[in-house]
Amino acid sequence: MTENGLAQAVRRNFDSSMTEHYRSHLDGTNINKASMLTTDYLNHFSGVLMLIEMLPLDPEVFAEDVLNWSPISYEEHFEVTGFRDKDLAIKAYEHAPVDVRVAFDGVINQLNNTLVDVLDQVKESVEKNQTEKLSMFCEEITHGVRDLIAEAASIVNDGTTNVIELSTAANPPATEDPQADIDALFD
């Protein structure tokens, strides 16, 4: 084993030990032991979704609150909330299984990008007093945002099992004959 390979093996062992260390402290908390994440962070997204749903009812009342929303990271969320185990939530997130973190962070990035785009549309519609356009737009986007929140919650609640299932569904295992796979597409 090369010196670099040895260093990587030591790092993997250390990371694994830290993951198990933090996992052992999760009993009695709202942090999922499998994923090492908590759905509390998703309240940041659910709250603005609720405001977007109410926005068409009274844009003057709800627009300011909707437009004041901005993306914050998992860690930032827990630094500013009253979550009882916030320090543990941050450390558990930092040491969550890599596949879970990658899947979760990917969905969160989609949520953030979607909501930033939504806010641009909302701002334009409110400034131009286009209440009908605003109403239609809010109705159209809420389902997609709700689905992304549900996907993130599923990763939190189901841990690595869910990530593996999602990955397998998106990329079914190939047969031993790649040409047979291609031929099957045309049958």
pLDDT along the chain (187 residues), means of 10: 81 83 91 96 97 92 94 96 94 95 96 94 90 90 95 89 46 45 42
Helix axes 59-67, 43-54, angle to 10 degrees: 150
CA distances from 48 to 94, 137, 152, 163 (A): 25, 15, 16, 26
What is the value of pTM for the model shown?
Answer: 0.79
* Burial (Cβ within 10 Å: 0-12, 13-18, ≥19) of residue 153: middle
Handedness of CA 72, 73, 77, 80 (dihedral sign): negative
What confidence score (pLDDT) does residue 105 get? 97
What token pair was written down for 21? 């260390």
* Burial (Cβ within 10 Å: 0-12, 13-18, ≥19) of residue 171: exposed
* Burial (Cβ within 10 Å: 0-12, 13-18, ≥19) of residue 66: buried
What confidence score (pLDDT) does residue 161 get? 52
In angstroms, the CA 186 to CA 25 distance is 53
What confidence score (pLDDT) does residue 21 get? 87
CA 126 from centre of chain: 28
